[in-house]
Structure 1
Amino acid sequence: MKPRIVAFIPVHNEEKSIRDCLAGLGDQSLPKDIELDVIVIADNCTDRTEEVALEAGQEFNLRLKVLTTKNNKQRKVGALNAAWKSIYGDPLDLYEKKSTIFEDYYRLSVKAILGMDADSRLAPGALFQLWEGLMSARNIGGVMAKYTMRMPKKKSLISGDDVYYEEKMASGDYGGPIERWWTHQQKQDMASWLLDLQYSGGSTYVLGGQATLFRPEALQYVIDENKLDGPWQDESDVEDMLLTWQIQKKWKTLISPTARCFVDAMRSYHTFRQQRNKWQSGTVELLTNSDIGVKSKHKGKIWRSQIKSLIDLIIRLLFILLLVLAIATDQFYWSWVWITPVVIASVLNTILAIKTPMHRTIDVILAALLISPEIYLWVNLVTFINAWLGKLSANKKDGWANQYNAERGNTRSKLTEGIIAIVLLITLATYICIDQRAFLTSETVQTAVKPYLQTGWKILTYLTVYTSLAMLYQIWKLRGKHTA
């Protein structure tokens, strides 16, 4: 029996995206004498996902089977483990089942497991590149593709009288200016993360579930080491990060410098927030929960990322507070030195925008003006606050359920209410400053406020100098030839 790669693709009502995912696998050129098998795991599907997958398997000449889960309450984790058990058996089976000779040989023939999401598509040649990366050394446990968010086409390209207008819009292939802008921000964020990993040697603290090639021995090691019935666990909202940390105890985890995978982005503020809430909350839980019992050599890098978010938040809140207080008490003095960090940030974001694959001119301009980066940063800071407040809360939220409900339109965003509240707060503050102008600019108030302003500006200066030096270091690293 020839050696093979087996692809695990968990699906839940993915009839619109599964065909494109399988088409990408049909495009792959396999290494010599290597075969590809595809297992689509249908988890509680109520649409035509299974039927579409089988039709696509025939269309693209794939060795494909559909595995239907039974009594699965662990969603994606349970679906992936079901595929694993279909090959390697279930240690929780009450009856000892003797495997056939064919099953034994098949098990031995599996040299790599490809974990993929149904809304992902490998670029031609990506699977071959992942295979080369995995087989380049015996101690590599997993290699992840480089992810690039797919930019939706302009919906203005669809004629208003096109009889298929609604169908085309429902397909998700088209989007308006806001959706396209939002997609690019996620794409640039991903590009920045991938570049940082590559400049740090290519080792990654998370093998993303969108497209990662695993060595079966590494997955089996996780099972044996932790007494599990399958490699994936639902103890964390970031099951892929948890698995990566467990693999890292013995194996290397890398990103491929060449293999690319195209993935769908979150098209709206609400769905993005729910996804990032899940990611951020899961990351915080892994960092702080000793009961999970996993560590990563990248833990310092992740903590530094959390501290950076905290510093970014403090700088902005402190600047707003000091600026309002200084203007209200007529003690504001402009200094051109303040332009320095703004210029550095503009240069950094322009470079990142240019290094982002398939970028648009408008995105580079908005990055240089710091309009897009600042809006995107504030959204992430809100997520950062929400994750840490959730850590202190007694009620544990189901991140997967919240994300699923947001994507299905079962919940709505509170963005409008938030914007209204901010506008009202600004209006109220402006009114008070104008109405109480004489009192606020009196010598008594100015004298009382001045020491706090001086201390606040000094703290803000130190923090700004630190972040400016960090940005200069990042710009220096970006001089390399790595691509995102």
Structure 2
Amino acid sequence: MTTNDVARYERSNEDEQIHTLENSFPDDFADVLDEGTTHRSTIGCVIPAYNEEESIADVIASLLRQTRVPDVIHVVVNNTTDATVKIASQYAGPHELSTVLGDQFTEVFVHDIGKNPDKKVGALNYGYTLVEGYDYLLGVDGDTVADDRAVEYLEAEAVADTRIGGISAIYSIDEKPITGFLAKFLITGQRSQFAAFNLHNLLRGRNMAVLGGQFSIFSTQALRDVMRENRQMTPWVKDSEVEDSLLSLQIKSAGYLTKISPFARADVGGMTTLRALDAQQVKWTYGAIELMWPGQRGDTKGQPFHPNLRVRWLEHFDMLMNMFVRIAFVTLLAASLSIGAFVFSFWWLIPPVVAIALNTRMAMTMNNRSTRDVLFGLTLAPAEIYMWIRCSHFLRSWTRFLSRKKVDNWAMQAKAERGGGFGHWTPLIFAVAIVAAMVAIWMMLPIMVQSTILWIGWPIVGVITVIQTLSMFFKLVRRQHGYKV
């Protein structure tokens, strides 16, 4: 059976409506799914895979378990050096499946495109050429396992509103297979980070600034419009570190909506080592900066004031304030103690108390929260340590960007995931050197100058801390409309 034959295949129960969702969800979103549709759209799934031998079987199996199975699944293996092709090929061929929505058919194709200089972008564009005749392209990362109804939910909402150019699932990380103290800590931090990101997007009208490539569905008509308006030959371009962010921005600029589903869920692959997490976060942040910075790209209309980019600027400003307050507070505290000038005030307990309440509430919004997630928020220390780690990623990203040094962040991430590289220790080494220099300078200053620095520094930190605390409080008391992330 050819790919076009698969695209035209009709399920025998195509008139059956999608099940009504649980009453706990917001009614307006449930109504979208209740309406269903009499037109059966076609969905072509593309899985770009690079050295995914540990996860590719689970990814394909999760797609074959879907209540709404994609009409065709293309696994596009590129630059791989492991058994990804061999394992994926075990699923190749036609599949007749019995689901709650009736009997369905799909076919799995495995393409080994060998050396691919464009890496994931090249694999995605190769996959696009295979499914461009379908109504929707479902992009799935080679380490992402979706809940059984994820495709059903994404398709239902995309079909119900033709303004939607792309819609993303809610992402988290499955912590059950994770072993080791450090790995569990890092995964818990990433789960909290994903939860905050998802909730932020859900509460801003479900408008998604970044349609993550982990598990998102795209209207192929929107992709064609993006290519035409930007004079591109392919939907994804190779000259961006964050191909999903750029495509999301272009879809928005083409007049479409970019949304996050309140129902579809998927577990992505997490980073279990400091070096791997550092490489991933630096690549993401560096790519975002490249999009945001004026003059870096000629195709980001309205840059840097595009709606998607304004959100990113606010995120970076928030991280800058987080880093400044922490460094300034520790510095001033040490300086005050060194000359016996520190006076404790109970007012300083308010920010950490509000932070604990906010972190705990965030943990309680997780759909599959664990005891570790709740303790991560309640005890404050783990969340604070993870924030310091995020600050180091933020600093490394901006330093790398401002240095104008050209690096292959994709290659660096791949190397880090294999256990190579020591760049993640750079912030700590510089921090130790800077602290040593500051201590030496501080000890040489006369007491009058030291007192003046403290007299000016503490009020500045205090004012910024009050503003941040108010911001956390407003996030704490705002309505969450029953969302679970």
In structure 2, the partner of 1:320 is: 330
Once the two structures are TM-superposed, the CA of residue 39 in structure 1 deviates from its matched residue by 0.7
1:47 alignment partner AA:
D
Q: Is 2:410 the counterpart of 1:395?
A: no
Distance (whole Å) between structure 2 residues aligned to residue 425 and residue 216 of structure 1: 52
Distance (whole Å) between structure 2 residues aligned to residue 356 and residue 133 of structure 1: 22
Give the TM-score normalised by the residue count of structure 2: 0.83
Give the TM-score normalised by the residue count of structure 1: 0.83
SS at the partner of 1:135?
helix
In structure 1, the partner of 2:210 is: 206
In structure 2, the partner of 1:262 is: 267
What are the residue-to-residue correspondences of 1:400-415 with 2, within 5 Å? 400-412=410-422, 415=425
1:23 pairs with one of 54, 57, 61: 61
In structure 2, the partner of 1:134 is: 158
Once the two structures are TM-superposed, the CA of residue 422 in structure 1 deviates from its matched residue by 6.2
In structure 2, the partner of 1:14 is: 52
Distance (whole Å) between structure 2 residues aligned to residue 425 and residue 395 of structure 1: 23
Distance (whole Å) between structure 2 residues aligned to residue 308 and residue 424 of structure 1: 26
Once the two structures are TM-superposed, the CA of residue 26 in structure 1 deviates from its matched residue by 0.7
- Superposed CA RMSD in Å reads 2.4
Q: Against the structure 1 CA distance between its residues 288 and 425, is the aligned structure 2 distance closer, same or farther, given a 3 Å change threshold?
A: closer
Once the two structures are TM-superposed, the CA of residue 479 in structure 1 deviates from its matched residue by 4.6
Q: Against the structure 1 CA distance between its residues 187 and 254, is the aligned structure 2 distance closer, same or farther, given a 3 Å change threshold?
A: same
Distance (whole Å) between structure 1 residues aligned to residue 450 and residue 248 of structure 2: 51
SS at the partner of 2:265?
strand
In structure 1, the partner of 2:378 is: 368
Once the two structures are TM-superposed, the CA of residue 8 in structure 1 deviates from its matched residue by 0.4
Contact 2:67-2:149 within 8 A present in 1 as well: yes
| CA deviations over 1:268-308 (Å, ceiling 9, x no partner) | 11100000000000001100043342143132221111111
Q: For structure 1, which runs of at least 5 residues remain unmatched after alignment?
A: 89-106, 154-173
Distance (whole Å) between structure 2 residues aligned to residue 76 and residue 131 of structure 1: 24
| CA deviations over 1:401-426 (Å, ceiling 9, x no partner) | 110111122324654x8768867987
Q: How many residues align?
A: 432
Moved more, 75-84 or 354-363: 354-363
Q: Is 2:52 the counterpart of 1:42?
A: no
Identity of aligned residues (%): 29
Contact 1:203-1:252 within 8 A present in 2 as well: yes
Distance (whole Å) between structure 2 residues aligned to residue 143 and residue 115 of structure 1: 11
Distance (whole Å) between structure 1 residues aligned to residue 181 and residue 333 of structure 2: 33
Contact 1:14-1:49 within 8 A present in 2 as well: yes
In structure 1, the partner of 2:234 is: 230
What are the residue-to-residue correspondences of 1:263-302 with 2, within 5 Å? 263-290=268-295, 291-295=297-301, 296-302=306-312
Q: Against the structure 1 CA distance between its residues 152 and 326, is the aligned structure 2 distance closer, same or farther, given a 3 Å change threshold?
A: same
SS at the partner of 1:143?
strand
Distance (whole Å) between structure 2 residues aligned to residue 406 and residue 60 of structure 1: 37
Q: Is 2:247 the counterpart of 1:246?
A: no
Q: For structure 2, which runs of at least 5 residues remain unmatched after alignment?
A: 1-7, 10-40, 97-105
Q: Against the structure 1 CA distance between its residues 299 and 112, is the aligned structure 2 distance closer, same or farther, given a 3 Å change threshold?
A: same
Once the two structures are TM-superposed, the CA of residue 51 in structure 1 deviates from its matched residue by 2.6
| CA deviations over 1:225-261 (Å, ceiling 9, x no partner) | 1121210112211100000000001100000000001
2:400 alignment partner AA:
G
Larger Rg: 1
Q: Against the structure 1 CA distance between its residues 138 and 460, is the aligned structure 2 distance closer, same or farther, given a 3 Å change threshold?
A: same
Q: Against the structure 1 CA distance between its residues 324 and 137, is the aligned structure 2 distance closer, same or farther, given a 3 Å change threshold?
A: same
Once the two structures are TM-superposed, the CA of residue 334 in structure 1 deviates from its matched residue by 1.1
Contact 2:188-2:376 within 8 A present in 1 as well: no
Distance (whole Å) between structure 2 residues aligned to residue 286 and residue 299 of structure 1: 8
Once the two structures are TM-superposed, the CA of residue 86 in structure 1 deviates from its matched residue by 3.4
Distance (whole Å) between structure 1 residues aligned to residue 91 and residue 423 of structure 2: 36
